[in-house]
Structures are given as C-alpha cells and as structure tokens.
Structure 1
Amino acid sequence: MEMCTFSSPNPLDSSFSIDIKDNKKGPDAVAFDNSMEKTALSRTRLRTLLEDNEFVVTSEIDLPCGSDASRIIDSADLIKDYCDVINAPDNPMGNPCMSSTIGSHFIIQAGAEPVLQISSRDRNRIAIQSELFAAHALGIRNILFISGDHSRHGYMKRAKSVYDIDSIEALEMSRELMQGYNALGEELEGTPHFFLGATFNPYEEPMEEHVLRTERKSEAGAQFFQTQGIYDPARLEEFLSRVEYLDPKVIAGIIPLQSPEMARFMNEFVPGLVIPEHIIERLEAAADGLEEEESLEATRPVGIQIATETIAELRKLDGVHGVHIMGVGWLESVIEIVKEAGLFPRPL
C-alpha cells in the first residue's frame, strides 16, 4: 500500500534520506532519525514504568454514545488510583461513540494519563495525521494503533470501513511525523512526540503469520503491545517465545466475566477472542439453579477469581510487563481485581 509520507524500500533504515527539490521551505534533505533521541518529549508515566520494568496496570473506560462527557470524568476518577493509565477506545465493535481523542482529553481533566486508541477503520491517512496533531496539542502522548472491528460487527452495518492504511503503516507515518517534517519535507508547525503502541492476538491462526506482523509492527515503531483478552496463558507463552528476540513490552488483556452468558456471547461475537469451555463451565456451576439476579451475584465473584488467577499465571511469564483490565460493563471489577491480585497500591 502506498505511503503518504516518504517512499523508500526500507523507510526504517537510519541512513534513509530523500532529496527535496524545488522546496524553499524545507531542507535539502530529511534524514529519518531511527534512534529517536528526543525521548524526553514523549516521556509518559506508562513509558517510564515499562522501561523501569515495573509490572503495569492499565484499564479502559466506555466512552458515551452521545454528547454527555460527564461519565468519562466520573469513570476515570473511579479507577485512576488503581491503574497507571486509562485507554480511550475508538468506536469498539464499529458502533459510534464519542471521539477517543476527546475522551482522552477528559481523562486528563480527571487527573489521569490516557492512552489514545486510533483505528484505521474509520480514518484515511489524512485524518490520522490530523488526529495526531490534535492529540499532541491536547497533551496526549500515548498512542495505540488498532485495526478496529469491522463495521459489520456493529449496528451500522452499512457504514463503509476505510482501511486506507493499516496499523503498521500508521506507526511508520507517526514516526516520520515525529522527525518534524511532512511528506514534502516541509517543517511542521510544531513537532508531535508520542509513545507508540500496537496490538497482537496470540489466538489468531496461523500463529506464524501474526508473529511476522508483530515483528513488522515493532520495526515500524511500536514501543509497547496490548493483547486481546487472555484466558489461556500457555497460548500467550507460546506466542511470546516466538517474538522473544524483539524484547517487546507486552501488556496482557484481562476481561472479567460476569456470567456464562457473557462468556458465550463474547466467544461468538467478539473477533479474535477465545474463552475455553472449562472457564465457562466454572461460571455455569456457580449459577446452577439460581434465578437471574441471584445468578449474577454468584457468578461475578467467580469472574473476579478467574481474572486474578490468570494474572498470577501471567506474572510468571517472561515478556509480560503488565495487564490491561477491561471491565466491560463492570468498571468496579477493575478495583476488585487490582486489589485481589496484589497490584495495589500503584507505583507513584
């Protein structure tokens, strides 16, 4: 796919440069700075903790599918002492919600550090660059590039997905912008600096193909990775063994399960998520013979227990540098899990 910025057989080669012709504003040549010396400008709490080999805890909040932003601040305020950063999701499942950039802004207003998720599903390369400029201006420094769930998974099934560039190209484009010049070699009116992240899913088949994509994301500039929800740490361990040479900073996903119905729904409708049958059977056993309201009271503690057990296993794995707890429709679970897993208080 054609890049909107610099064109080169190897755009990540530190010796790469282009000649700018008939360009009075830009320099004679723009060198790609592969060393990323200006790290202080993208220094974030998340980056500092990961580089100090602290076991990080991240979470996310649901953004409103409407214009009332008060819930963002309330939600961020609820969990900010129990996690190091808070993700602002970008229209998950292809359903329209408040902008993740604005969501990140309100997370900052609540006194927390955001991770801005940017999906290539809804934006072309022009819109992504515009979003990055706005994010930096608002004080947002952590960026997580995702492909995004296809719009057919949401309720606006007639919406056209964009996918002008993928997350690998978005990472490359971001790093080039961080050099301070646009595609013409013209100096930007303010250089953005970010801590860049990407995702991988150890459950996807064939695994080797996704190992290669993870390698490409790392080479393109990903400095940390988040995963899909993990219910089988052995599968993640196998994946990590294949990318060990990359020395990735991996934050493993945790989705606490409220009920067996939730588990089966996610297995069927959430792309790339695999919940083993024995996990669902534990939830079913807790709910056996109970009415719906009583059932939820019985299954939620089991969901917390499953999550904390999984975290304990993940902490034993080389290459896992933290957990990303997604309290889907159950934000209070983040607090319980962090406490039960012995991850509270968080580092200052």
Structure 2
Amino acid sequence: MNHSSEDLKYLLLLNRLSFGGRPEAAAAVLDPQFTVCEIIERIRAENLWGRAEALQALEKTWDPEREIDAACRQGCHLLPLWDPAYPLLLKQIVDPPLVLYYKGSLVSADDVALAVVGARHPSLYGLQQTARFVRALSERGMTIVSGFAVGIDRAAHEASLTCSYGRTLAVLGCGLDVSYPKKNQDLTERICERGALISEYALGTPPRGENFPRRNRIISGLSLGTLVVEAHWRSGSLITAHEAIDQGREVFAVPGSVDQLTSSGTHRLIREGATLVTSPDEVFEGLALPAENIRRRLAPFSGQMEFPCEIAASGKENQKCQPDIRQKNDESMILKHLRSGGLPADDLIRALNQPSYQVALQLTELEMAGRIRRMHDGTYQIINHP
C-alpha cells in the first residue's frame, strides 16, 4: 500500500493517543484492509478502542502538520511503522511504536544489536564490566542499545564510541527536543554521528515517570538480546529484561558480589533463568552469531571497515578500538599517580577529579592493555614488565 503525507499526519494523531500498551493500533496500521484515515474515522464514528473523546480533545490542541514542520526544523526524522526502513526486530514485537522520531542514522547493521542496561548508581565494578563487555562486542560489529540514563546506560554508550566503528542507539523517555538527563547532553552529538537518538514520544513530551517503563520495550525490541550488568531488586532494568523475555529475546546477567545491593536484581534474573555470563564471548555465543554472519550484515554500510578476524590476521590487534587523545592523556595521568604505589579506584577518581564512569573506562583500557593490574586488596598497580 502506498502512503501519502496525509497518512503520516493521521499516524501522528494515533501516536499521540494513549493506547496503554495495547497492540491493536499497530495491528490496524499494518492491516492492508484499512488506511490510517479510515482508522481515525472509525475512532470518531464508532468510538474505536474507546478513544473518541480523547481524539476530539487532541485535535483541538495539537496540529500534526506543525509537528512535521517542527521535526524538520530540528533535524528529527519521522519513521512510520509501515516504512521499509523501520527496524525489523522492533516491528516484530506485539506493540511496536507507530512512528519513531530519531536524530542520526539507522542502518541495516543495527539489526545486529545488544541492549545493555543497569543501575543509575552503579559500583566501579559495574562500570568496568560494562566497558569490558561493550568494547569487545562493539569490536565484533554489534550495535549497542541503551536508555541514555546516567550510570550503566551512559557507560554503555561511551564504551561503544571508543571503538572506531562502534555504533550505539539511545532510546529516550521524552521528546527528542527535551534535554534529559542534562548530565548526558554532551553525548548527544557523538551518538548522532555514530548511531541515533530515538523516541516514540512527540516533540516537547516531558520525561514523565510512566514513559520510562514503556520506553523499555523499545530498548529490548531493537535488540537480539539484553545484557543486565548491575541492577537493584526493583530496578527498571528488570522491566527491560522481562520485556525481552516476553519478546522471545535472550537475557544475560553479569553476576556481582552477594552483599552488593546493585547485584540483587541481576542475581534475581539468574535465578529466574537468565544466562549468567562472565565474558563477552559467552554473550556472543549465546546469541548464536558467528563472526562471518555479522560481517555479511555489516558489509552494506561498512565500506573499507576492518573486522576483528582481519585485524588479527594483519597484526593490528591493538588498533581495534582507538582511544582519543584526551583519553590517552587521562590514562597517562592514572599511570603517573600509580608510579608512587598502588591506589584504590576511589582515590584515583578524587585525584583525577573526573566522573567515575570515565575513570572506570580508562582503568579497563589500561588493564586490557596489560599496563596495570587490580590487586586482591582492591588497589591498582602498574605492571613492571621484565
């Protein structure tokens, strides 16, 4: 069925109506027997889904044509559910968004994606494990999806961007023109260059509490599986994990210390049947994605991109993920502080006067490079090679 600009206007009206998670709207939009205009007319005439009064009120206060103009001015793309470019994995869930607002780019390679979620106030261990898993999986060509929150979400987006060809998708619980959370606004431009900011919410929608649980189905829906690094017993990350289960996707959990509050949620998931993982290889194997399959799916957008198997063969193993100059300088400062003796991470964070997620990423880089080692007492020490 061919769709017109008028269809998009009617679809935006449908999108603004609250359907409470019911899948009937998406099913009707995808049904070739009905046009979007006919669905709107049935709501008006027959009170379809009990939304006639809500539609009448909406049409008095909101103009979809102005929404389209505003999106164009702000560089936001509108991707209807019927568009061939709509993410295939997301279209397969029972209640996909009727329209996606996004800034940046969505490419076919993003079909090979992993959601990485966790606590907003993680431990240093959680931040380091996030960096370790995300870097390794980004090197293998996986797109990293997360929710743009502070904590584990931010660490996942950051770590994916350290890989020269890493991609990341950030799913928001507000309109794309709303700055939330403000602490993460420095990431928006970088994410748009190497992925996308995504929302199902109309421009100007504030970050209401009820938006985020509903947003979580998109995070898991865009992904082949969900990795939970750290989560409290009642964390929103568990909602994402349960959405993934309902969608028939894989769920992985990183174990933590038994006396750590941020491990209670991940341990709960493991008891419920999530796959316990201690290395990125276990995630990769759990998704049953051989490297050649990912290589084939990345090929249309990769150009002259080098893949892990080629990098290893060419002897350029250390060039897979190149930290930027600022990060290299920060790592040099860590080594400088450690030359006088071992230090715990908290002391390094205070000495460097940097956010904990940045220090965690730098420590992970140095550990993976064999420059430092974490000792049994929790301190970090320089490795003196013979």
By the TM > 0.5 criterion, same fold? Answer: no
User: TM-score, normalised to structure 1's length?
Assistant: 0.34
- Structure with greater Cα Rg: 2
The structure in which a higher percent of residues are helix is 2
After TM superposition, the score normalised by the length of structure 2 is 0.31
Greater relative contact order: 1 or 2 (C-alpha under 8 angstroms, separation 6 or more)?
1
